[in-house]
Amino acid sequence: MDIGGTSTVALALDPAGQVEAEIQLPTLKGTQGLLDTVERAVAGLTERSGRDRAEFTSLGIGIPGQIDHELGMVQHAYNIGIDSLALGPLLQERLGIPVSIDNDVTAAAIGAAHLMHLEGTTAYLNLGTGLAAGCVIDGLPVRGAHGITGEIGHLAIDPLLRQCPCGQKGCLETVASGSALTSFWRPDASGHLLMTAVAAGDPEATHALEQLIAGAATAVRLLVLTLDPHSLVIGGGLRLLGEPLISGIRENLDRSAAVSPFLASLEINSRIRILPEDSSAAAVGAALSYQS
């Protein structure tokens, strides 16, 4: 299951990792809402897959927030109304099967590597409401000591020095994320609105898109220099801005390579892949994460 602030995607994987059934339902907030959402999703999958509930051997969940995978703890998942919750143990008790909890971006990284058949080291850059990354090495996620591997959105390096909710100024997330667009461009920002305004020659929209591209390209360079991945997948809702964003990132990377033989030698552009539009990577990765 991929539990997001507004909706939850749930799917059933067969032993070979193929999707058998999939449903989407609204996410109900708070502890009780979250538990009810999961139970309704399980019931829906039982019905759609035609399988007996007892045939489900494990449940994996990808959810925003700081996650302690070992303890199944979710913290700071504010857009779901959760401050701190032992979600894994609670669900395990209710459902009677092992439950694995991961950060949604880590889950998406696992799912993207699986669905796109990527081997070796895969870096996953999520350009969504926030900016964060995940890393998978030969199918296994890197979670880190405190579950914050890949939280590069809070690297403060942008000269605009915009205030970030984390307390710092100039975080990558304040220029290259959906929340940056709503905070610093316009409150009703959407990808469609942005591209329409850019096409109409709106200078503020053009500036917002340029910031987005520059921040995303910086995030790509950061991931390549820290992880040296075989593949770098760009996912998250903002990727649906499509060609203007993707070619903008590629051109930015080309410009930085043009002045640096070192960066040029890294062939960063050739490592980039775009997550397909209809992909349920986070839900697939969450389902697989019980084994990883």
Judged by CB under 5 A, does residue 166 bind Zn ion?
Answer: yes
Do residues 160 and 211 touch, judged by C-beta distance below 8 A?
yes
Least Å distance, CB 198 to Zn ion, is 26
Nearer to Zn ion, 58 or 179 (CB): 179
Query: CA 42, 44, 48: angle at the middle one, nearest 5?
Result: 120
Least Cβ distance, residue 123 to Zn ion (angstroms): 20
- Could you say whether residue 69 binds Zn ion (CB under 5 A)? no
Residue 220 contacts Zn ion per CB under 5 A = no
Q: Specify the residue, 60 or 128, whose C-beta has the smaller distance to Zn ion.
A: 128
- Closer of 154 and 239 to Zn ion (Cβ): 154
Q: Residue 122 or 177: which CB sits closer to Zn ion? A: 177
- Any bridge partners for residue 101, and if so which? 61
Number of residues that bind Zn ion (CB under 5 A): 5
Structure token digits, residue 253? 């990377």
Nearer to Zn ion, 75 or 92 (CB): 75
Nearer to Zn ion, 12 or 176 (CB): 176
> With CB under 5 A as the contact rule, which of the stretches 164-172, 198-206, 252-260, 279-287 interacts with Zn ion?
164-172
Binding track over 169-188 against Zn ion, x by CB under 5 A: --x-----------------
Q: Residue 76 in contact with residue 25, Cβ under 8 Å?
A: no
Sheet bearing 2-3, strands edge to edge? 19-26, 7-13, 2-3, 59-63, 99-103
Contact 125, 235 (CB under 8 A): yes
Q: Smallest distance, Å, CB 164 to Zn ion? A: 3
The distance of closest approach from Cβ of residue 81 to Zn ion in the complex, given in angstroms and rounded to an integer, is 22
> What does the alpha-carbon distance between residue 215 and residue 106 come to, in Å, rounded to a whole number?
20
Q: Does 125 bind Zn ion (CB under 5 A)?
A: no
Distances (CA, A) of 105 to 112, 129, 234: 10, 12, 11
Identify the residue whose tokens are 């900016």: 131
164, 175, 249, 283: which one contacts Zn ion (CB under 5 A)? 164
Shortest approach of Zn ion to residue 224 CB, angstroms? 22
Q: Taking the chain, what is the end-to-end CA distance rounded to the nearest angstrom?
A: 16
Residue 41 sits in the site that holds Zn ion (CB under 5 A): no
Q: Which amino acid is at 253?
A: L
Is 171 in a helix, a strand, or coil?
strand
- Report, in Å, the least distance between residue 126 CB and Zn ion: 15
Residue 262: is it exposed, middle or buried by C-beta count within 10 angstroms (0-12/13-18/19+)?
Answer: exposed
For strands 272-274 and 121-127, give the pairing: unpaired
Q: Is 263 in the site for Zn ion (CB under 5 A)?
A: no
Stretch of 38-46, 88-96, 166-174, 260-268 lying at the interface with Zn ion (CB under 5 A): 166-174
Site for Zn ion in 135-154 (CB under 5 A): 154
| Nearest partner of 174 among 130, 122, 116, judged by Cα | 130
Binding site residues, Zn ion, CB under 5 A: 154, 164, 166, 168, 171
